[in-house]
Structure 1
């Protein structure tokens, strides 16, 4: 029987690991600290074991047909993927497809190996929702490439009970601080717009839930443009808006004004990294989650088509998830989709080669049905009804 080799037992891995074991899958959990991995599977029975991770040990253990799941830092994914190519095993990761990963596509396809990436929350579930909306729109009477199209995909995690800081940290804030310095690219008002700092592009965004509407703050994240092709927006489409970005609680920009100022003005020079690290430690001490404190994840994907200034098609999916005693919402929504991708690979439902989250509606609906067992339901709103 093919074995799953799950690398990394951090908080964002645990729910998916436990689900696979409970589903009767054969799994080896690899982690540098064995005791941490053992805590992740505490109380479970099944066909699993725990081992101390190293690339050499992994290379000795894998066999053809196995699946290696890298939940390690993104800088390690290529080394793991190359090991998979060498050993003839499949690969799964929740991370974005890097140019180096994409370059392995022809070799993976030639070896009939499946290398799946971008199957967590964001990227991951956002892709699934985008594919469903696109299939719906293209199959509708309103479809016309000359329509003016507005596509927005936003995701954010924050405390379930809002605080004055409008945010809390699940792990080191350093990554969040560095992301504030990362440029983004999107289509806004029909033009390609480059944003150097998130606080220059913050906008209100209203989300409709079954319980009512709520206004959040949003801003573009990373480079949205490559996903035009991934989602099926052809080059002849009239695009007014195309943005993938981050969602924050309303009032976040005011609560973080001093941090924005610090990142923009205080970390230049040779001691900039040290200053950023000191700020990270301060934020961790003051704004990390308390033991058992629930988090909240909101994901929304919205698409509108307009003709002559009037909307002719407008639908959106929204997810509003909460953490519970078993796991945080963030951990659940990252690792459960990863576990579903692993099963899709083992069950022969994914094609060979390097790829992102599936676009097949049958696979997507199956994943949603599984996620609904955890209380995570995606609500579709027809904004013209």
Structure 2
């Protein structure tokens, strides 16, 4: 069985190299062959120029396609996998079009695994573990309300005046700033049109407490069911969001003001111009360390009294192994490939693992990727 790893961008390399170093049968596909050779040419000569036609010719039943390509390629490659009796893995969110392939994948006995990067991915593991631990605690009753928050962000290890640096094209970040979000705040659905209208402060329970700026992103509401919340539970807050360094909003206010005015094709063209300028001004320098902070928390209260409260806090930064972002995105992808080949994912469309034993295995592996990972019990 061959692993067809498609895409060798900056966030793909550690996981790809791990699979090759472990002796897996890996075929590397990239639009630009010299870039792939620069990334893994010291380990393998099985590198080819990516086209769907070329991949189709090499793909066999039982193989795994890994898509680290732009999101619009995931569904076509998943459909190709199904047509050839192969499995599929990506780190991206499950789109409605991907979810629509669930029935066919189950019928064929094939796994289409997504959301196995950093966020989404590692955050799912922490959420599943916290919900399972809360269920087992026995503290829940009819008077209990729950607050769930999950914040993650890539930030510079060495803070700068801009309060941010880019690991790859800023265009995706700029587009996300134009996106609305849905979450739950104070027992009610909270719909926000722009992130800067929903900023709050969050003190991360790191060994040395640190305050960040946070805001909700995308639509948090489907994850209530995805994280196995009981439908009868009363939810006070439920937010999946983005974390930024303190002072980020002030530093970015001129960008917010301009983004608010942009629309249509001209607006998109301007976003691309802004992206290019930001990449020139605020990209990481070679060897400059990045940092990733993730905090996933579940708190139960009876009235104003906290009865149960645990938080996973992760802090990672670039070192001799490369960037933190690349490790934490691509290594879980490699773990998913391993588990697909070992039959640990059932047939169908899946996100990151939720079975307790598999979650525990993955969290143990993730602990080796971060400089600090702790589950904090706030009540001791």
TM range (shorter): over 0.9
Following TM superposition, by how much is the alpha carbon of 1:376 offset from its aligned partner in structure 2, in angstroms? 4.5
- The 5 A counterparts of 1:229-240 are 229-240=225-236
What corresponds to 2:75 in structure 1?
78
What corresponds to 2:214 in structure 1?
218
Deviations 1:96-154 (A, max 9, x none): 00000000000000000011000000000000000000010000021236411000001
324-333 or 253-262, which deviates more: 324-333
What is the SS of the residue equivalent to 1:59?
helix
90-99 or 31-40, which deviates more: 31-40
Distance 1:378 1:351 in 2: 29
Following TM superposition, by how much is the alpha carbon of 1:378 offset from its aligned partner in structure 2, in angstroms? 2.3
What is the SS of the residue equivalent to 1:242?
strand
- The 5 A counterparts of 1:42-121 are 42-44=41-43, 49-121=46-118
Q: Normalising to structure 2: TM-score of the pair?
A: 0.97
What corresponds to 1:348 in structure 2?
343
Alpha-carbon spacing, 1:235–1:336, altered in 2? closer, same or farther (3 Å)? same
Following TM superposition, by how much is the alpha carbon of 1:51 offset from its aligned partner in structure 2, in angstroms? 1.1
Deviations 1:73-97 (A, max 9, x none): 1111111011011000000010000
Q: Is the 8 A contact 2:314 2:370 kept in 1?
A: no
Distance 2:309 2:203 in 1: 14
What is the SS of the residue equivalent to 2:260?
helix
Q: Is the 8 A contact 2:156 2:164 kept in 1?
A: yes
Deviations 1:154-208 (A, max 9, x none): 1000110000100011112111111100000000010001100000000000111
169-178 or 107-116, which deviates more: 169-178
Q: Is the 8 A contact 1:169 1:287 kept in 2?
A: yes
- Give structure 2 stretches of 5+ with no counterpart: none
99-108 or 369-378, which deviates more: 369-378
Q: Normalising to structure 1: TM-score of the pair?
A: 0.96
Q: Is the 8 A contact 1:371 1:377 kept in 2?
A: no
Q: Is the 8 A contact 2:125 2:363 kept in 1?
A: no
Following TM superposition, by how much is the alpha carbon of 1:276 offset from its aligned partner in structure 2, in angstroms? 1.8
Residue in structure 2 matching 1:251, options 247, 251, 260: 247
Instruction: Name the count of aligned residue pairs.
Output: 380
Deviations 1:50-81 (A, max 9, x none): 11111111111111111110111111111101
